[in-house]
Structure 1
Amino acid sequence: MSSSSNKPHAFNPPDVPTPPPTYSQISVTPLLPTSKLITLAGQVGLDGKTDKVVDGFDAQVKLAYQNILNALKAAGATPRDIIHVKHLIVKDTGRVGVESEEELTRVWGHHWMEFMDKEGEGHRPPDTVLGVAALATKELLYECEVWAIVHG
């Protein structure tokens, strides 16, 4: 990690199992006296204009990422500043293959990588993926919680 960088540095050391391409095993973030830790509540596929949950797993995932982007911007951060992510996926999504890691990555992972490539300079912060029985309301199929640090 460059000492001049104040952004999180995510990587996979050679002696730790290589994760899927959606995340890295470790993130090191320099802390400065002027740093801010930003934590977002879990973001979901709720449309702020209509106050309704959008239909379908893929649509909920995409809207959750847009809501994350909007929340980070409001706090003076970008997806490149994310230091940890938690994905919560309702296990009974009605999607074939959600039980396997390979299929799970194809279900939501491609949206995550596309989002981070576009908005986060390809950054892959460490993450946790949890299969859950339910979220706050029965319509919700996906929720994403992020932590970020900004400096200055």
Structure 2
Amino acid sequence: MAQANSNKPNAFNPPNVPTPPPTYSQVCTTPILPTSRLVTLAGHVGQDPKTLEVVKDFDAQVKLSYQNILNSLKAAGATPRDIIHVRHYIVKDTGRVGVGSEEELTEAWGKHWMEFMDREGEGHRPPDTVVGVACLATEELLYECEVWAMVSG
């Protein structure tokens, strides 16, 4: 299933495993070349880089997290298309995890991830993990996202 002659991760869903929600793919193959680099980012949150203030609204935190991820990837010479794995941490009392269906999960926060990846990552859907947590580093944080990426050159 890996794409020939491509140095980008190739995310796909094998026909013999359950089809996941549209926010991610089950498998991602990543070429390892002599000049490749693995880029790992710490978890990013909805904190404004200029004021260091955390935005209050859940959706605003999610969107700002993705902007911070984009900025970090660019600084490392990577793009969202280079992402090979994602981990989303969501504070459980937001009601955004442990929902009753894949549709609710996608509506709760996944729509923002898909919009971001469609706009910045060519529609790429790398494997991801969603973790409901009691809290994050500080009480105002409701969402955190960490990614790994692989770049060549």
TM-score range, shorter chain: over 0.9
- Against the structure 1 CA distance between its residues 94 and 10, is the aligned structure 2 distance closer, same or farther, given a 3 Å change threshold? closer
Question: What is residue 116 of structure 1 aligned with on the other side?
Answer: 117
- Classify the secondary structure of the residue corresponding to 1:58: helix
TM-score by length of 2: 0.95
Question: What is residue 151 of structure 1 aligned with on the other side?
Answer: 152
Superposed CA deviations along residues 35-66 of structure 1, whole A, max 9, x for unmatched, are 00000000000001111100110000000000
Amino acid paired to 1:16: V
Question: What is residue 35 of structure 1 aligned with on the other side?
Answer: 36
What 5-or-longer segments of structure 1 have no aligned partner? none
Question: What is residue 46 of structure 1 aligned with on the other side?
Answer: 47
Question: Residue 98 of structure 1 contacts residue 107 of structure 1 at CA under 8 Å; is this kept in 2?
Answer: no
- Classify the secondary structure of the residue corresponding to 1:27: strand
Question: What is residue 22 of structure 2 aligned with on the other side?
Answer: 21
Alpha-carbon distance between aligned partners in 1 of 2:19 and 2:61, rounded to the nearest angstrom: 28
* Alpha-carbon offset, residue 93 of structure 1: 1.1
Alpha-carbon distance between aligned partners in 2 of 1:49 and 1:106, rounded to the nearest angstrom: 30
Task: Note the aligned Cα RMSD (angstroms).
Answer: 1.2
Mapping of 1:2-151 within 5 angstroms?
2-93=3-94, 99-100=99-100, 101-151=102-152
The 4+ residue runs of structure 1 with deviation greater than 4 A are: none
Alpha-carbon distance between aligned partners in 1 of 2:98 and 2:117, rounded to the nearest angstrom: 22
- Classify the secondary structure of the residue corresponding to 1:43: coil
Amino acid paired to 2:134: A
Alpha-carbon distance between aligned partners in 2 of 1:30 and 1:82, rounded to the nearest angstrom: 12
Question: Residue 7 of structure 2 contacts residue 152 of structure 2 at CA under 8 Å; is this kept in 1?
Answer: yes
Alpha-carbon distance between aligned partners in 1 of 2:6 and 2:95, rounded to the nearest angstrom: 43
* Alpha-carbon offset, residue 147 of structure 1: 0.1
* Alpha-carbon offset, residue 9 of structure 1: 0.2
Question: Residue 98 of structure 2 contacts residue 132 of structure 2 at CA under 8 Å; is this kept in 1?
Answer: no
Amino acid paired to 1:113: M
TM-score by length of 1: 0.96
* Alpha-carbon offset, residue 103 of structure 1: 1.7
Question: Residue 48 of structure 2 contacts residue 54 of structure 2 at CA under 8 Å; is this kept in 1?
Answer: yes
* Alpha-carbon offset, residue 2 of structure 1: 2.6
